[in-house]
Structure 1
Amino acid sequence: MSESKTDVTVHPDAEHPEKFSDPGLPSHRPRQADIDPKADKRAERQVVVLFLLSVIGTIVALWAYFAVRPDGTTGGVRTSTLTLGIAIFFALAGIGIGAIHWAKTLMNDHEMVEERHQARTTGETREIAVKKLQDGIKDSGIGRRGVLKGVVVSALALFPLTIAVPLISSVGGDWDVSKFRDTLWKKGTRLTYDPTGRPIKASDVTLGSAVHVIPEVTEEYRTTDEWITEKAKAVVLMVRLDPRDLNPPAKQAGWDYDGIVAFSKICTHVGCPVALYEQQTHHLLCPCHQSTFDVAHGAKVVFGPAKRPLPQLPITVDADGYLVARDGFDEPVGPSYWERLK
């Protein structure tokens, strides 16, 4: 790299220099592919391989979407998601790394300098810009590299299928939103600890505690695939406050039992589990997007993107002192959807 002196123009009273002379550009260092035809061909083959990797990744992603379907179990969902995710990664990475390697090894790397000019351009300037774009296309060498051109076009054309096919295939699927209107909670259903299923007595719930709750079901039902889906809709977070701190909306008055209140654990924003309880403020926090609900005031939203309170489960005790539901939720649980205004 050549050295050059820098001239500085300074006013007598100026604290900083006003103008520096252009130091120029360092001498150009040719790449191996610029001087060795074998290296140039090798670089081209490497780029072709990377874009072929993208094509293969797209094909595997499409295969995985149809062949490796979730079977309702945790392991099945994990396998399907992992296979599809890895395939899409290679489909995207092949395009990205291939484009970078192409630019670094095959395209012109000579330094270019353009003087600053006004932002407003003339017709002549636009013509020059179009000419430079055309020169860039010519310089990329894609016109004379047939294999490279074919694999690039194939990768870019096929990759959108990894997104389009799942979207198109979902048309005509199960859009029955009424499934979210009802849960396993019914009048008289006992509240039990999650995950053991042991019934909860009101005397077991201490002041300030937060308990993760599921409805009582038979042991046989807990082994079915249906239980996984129904449990996901019915999970509840129960908290015990001083009854004097409760100030619920009028329609929810009396839905607690001696300061014990129970709310759906599913955030009304996008359905994340609301599981962080702050005892001093009586706030429930959703860890995903920080929606915050005030338990003392009917779980109303006090912060964050959620638009409606958490649905409350009205509770009481049975003859044996166990906490039971007075009824199911009075509204659908979970995030809002197109049938809801909020």
Structure 2
Amino acid sequence: MTSKEHSGGGSQLEELNGFTNPGLPEHKPRLADSDPRAEKVAERQVAAWFILSMIGTIWFIVAYFLFTPGESMQSIRLHNMFVGLGAAVAMFSIGFGAVLWAKNLMSDHEGIDERHDIGGSEEDQAIALEILHQAKEESGIARRPLIRNTLIAALAIAPLPAVLVFRDLGPLPGDKLFNTLWEKGTRLIRDPGGIPSVDSERPIKADEVTIGSAYHVLPSGIGDHEASDHPINEKAKAAVLLMRIDPKELKEDPDRKDWSHDGIVAYSKICTHVGCPVALYEHQTHHLLCPCHQSTFDVTEHCKVIFGPAKRPLPQLPITVDSEGYLVAQSDFPEPVGPTFWEINHP
């Protein structure tokens, strides 16, 4: 069926509903279709956007190494801002250049193609090849080497930022997650937020922890001059949630009864699913909730998983009190913190 026949059939159908098919609008040629100079300008504009995309990719790589994030939040923000700017420019410029190419240089004639039966005959294959050849001619990619070459170059280097990002994933942590900053006798301090300092440390006494309360805590000494060399991931790895519930509600294993103190328990803050921070405590139900994927842990039963995708309980930090009544760790975590999918093999 031709476009005219299709249009007539459509008119008959629409006239039944009281409407007349206006048909396709009259084609209006663009300036680039009739003026070779305008066509050349449009071609250079498209190429300029592709070149800008390459500059954005190169800037991403330069910023990745130039603005290495340190321990301060300011350095991390600068790193993220500059590499993000490079990635945004690289991706946006390719897209914008392609849009300009389509609007100003590719064929803009409207047409109607009827749906045909799917088949693999030689005739259909010949038609498909003809369509591809027609697309090549209409896009002008064969006779516009400047656009073609800059597009190929921009697309060729576009994956480089992804290579750098995936490179940062690094090797599996191995036995590193078996060791945190906790050790025997380390006092529990309230997490001051940001990078701790000696002046910001606030040790916690057992009698300060009331039933129903929850604290985000870190090991003492993390802010002194020796611990200041610890990277931020060491601080995150040692993060703990401290809670107190009625000792009668605890269902402790016999070999873990001395890991708590008068209903005060401490568990790793890192979800065992994908490592999100578990930070929501429901004191009435004694449930800990991970906000990322809703894994839920029961504090009364050693933080066993009662809902969600996590496959193992949160690691428990054994605690006690020292001679001054401050809460201290009995040891490091007896099991690795973090997600199970890391497949940690302890030597």
**Interval containing the TM-score (normalised by the shorter chain):** 0.7 to 0.9
Do 1:252 and 1:298's aligned partners in 2 also have CA atoms closer than 8 Å? no
> 1:40 and 2:44 equivalent?
no
Which shifted more, 92-101 or 283-292?
A: 283-292
Q: Which amino acid aligns with 1:188?
A: G
Structure 1 residues 122-160: Cα deviation after superposition (integer angstroms, max 9, x where no partner): 332232112101210121112222211221111111212
Give the match's secondary structure for 1:211.
strand
> 1:208 and 2:212 equivalent?
yes
C-alpha displacement at 1:90, in angstroms? 1.1
- Quote the residue 1:189 is aligned against: 186
- Quote the residue 1:224 is aligned against: 228
- Quote the residue 1:72 is aligned against: 71
TM-score normalized with structure 2 length: 0.85
Higher relative contact order (CA 8 A, sep 6+): 2
Q: Summarize the Cα distance change of 1:198–1:165 in structure 2 as closer, same or farther, 3 Å threshold.
A: closer
C-alpha displacement at 1:175, in angstroms? 5.5
- Quote the residue 2:249 is aligned against: 245
Structure 1 residues 30-61: Cα deviation after superposition (integer angstroms, max 9, x where no partner): 33322333332222121111101011111112
Measure, in 2, the Cα distance between the counterparts of 1:227 and 1:136: 55
Structure 1 residues 312-339: Cα deviation after superposition (integer angstroms, max 9, x where no partner): 1112222222212222211011122133
C-alpha displacement at 1:248, in angstroms? 3.6
Give the match's secondary structure for 1:7.
helix
Match of 1:314 among 291, 294, 318: 318
Give the match's secondary structure for 2:325.
coil
C-alpha displacement at 1:8, in angstroms? 4.0
Give the match's secondary structure for 2:259.
coil
Do 2:142 and 2:148's aligned partners in 1 also have CA atoms closer than 8 Å? yes
Measure, in 2, the Cα distance between the counterparts of 1:118 and 1:46: 41
Measure, in 1, the Cα distance between the counterparts of 2:232 and 2:73: 10
Counterparts of 1:23-102 in structure 2 under 5 Å?
24-102=23-101
Do 1:51 and 1:151's aligned partners in 2 also have CA atoms closer than 8 Å? yes
- Quote the residue 1:138 is aligned against: 137
Number of residue-to-residue matches in the alignment = 330
Structure 1 residues 242-299: Cα deviation after superposition (integer angstroms, max 9, x where no partner): 2222224554344222211110011112222111111222111122222222212211
Measure, in 2, the Cα distance between the counterparts of 1:227 and 1:44: 50
Q: Summarize the Cα distance change of 1:280–1:29 in structure 2 as closer, same or farther, 3 Å threshold.
A: farther
Measure, in 2, the Cα distance between the counterparts of 1:208 and 1:238: 10
Measure, in 2, the Cα distance between the counterparts of 1:230 and 1:58: 32
Give the match's secondary structure for 1:238.
strand
Q: Summarize the Cα distance change of 1:112–1:316 in structure 2 as closer, same or farther, 3 Å threshold.
A: same
- Quote the residue 1:13 is aligned against: none
Measure, in 2, the Cα distance between the counterparts of 1:218 and 1:112: 70
Q: Summarize the Cα distance change of 1:258–1:285 in structure 2 as closer, same or farther, 3 Å threshold.
A: same
Give the match's secondary structure for 2:338.
coil
Q: Summarize the Cα distance change of 1:161–1:8 in structure 2 as closer, same or farther, 3 Å threshold.
A: closer
Measure, in 2, the Cα distance between the counterparts of 1:9 and 1:218: 77
Gaps of 5+ in 1: 11-16
> 1:147 and 2:146 equivalent?
yes
Q: Summarize the Cα distance change of 1:52–1:21 in structure 2 as closer, same or farther, 3 Å threshold.
A: same
Q: Summarize the Cα distance change of 1:153–1:219 in structure 2 as closer, same or farther, 3 Å threshold.
A: closer
CA RMSD after TM alignment: 2.9
Q: Summarize the Cα distance change of 1:106–1:24 in structure 2 as closer, same or farther, 3 Å threshold.
A: same
Which shifted more, 38-47 or 21-30?
A: 21-30
Do 1:73 and 1:225's aligned partners in 2 also have CA atoms closer than 8 Å? no
Q: Summarize the Cα distance change of 1:9–1:244 in structure 2 as closer, same or farther, 3 Å threshold.
A: same
Give the match's secondary structure for 1:187.
coil
Measure, in 2, the Cα distance between the counterparts of 1:160 and 1:9: 50
Match of 2:271 among 256, 261, 267: 267
Q: Which amino acid aligns with 1:184?
A: L
Q: Summarize the Cα distance change of 1:247–1:120 in structure 2 as closer, same or farther, 3 Å threshold.
A: farther
Gaps of 5+ in 2: 1-6, 193-199
Q: Which amino acid aligns with 2:51?
A: L
Do 1:202 and 1:322's aligned partners in 2 also have CA atoms closer than 8 Å? yes
Give the match's secondary structure for 1:156.
helix
Measure, in 2, the Cα distance between the counterparts of 1:33 and 1:9: 36
Match of 1:178 among 171, 175, 187: 175
Do 2:188 and 2:220's aligned partners in 1 also have CA atoms closer than 8 Å? yes
Measure, in 1, the Cα distance between the counterparts of 2:122 and 2:222: 79
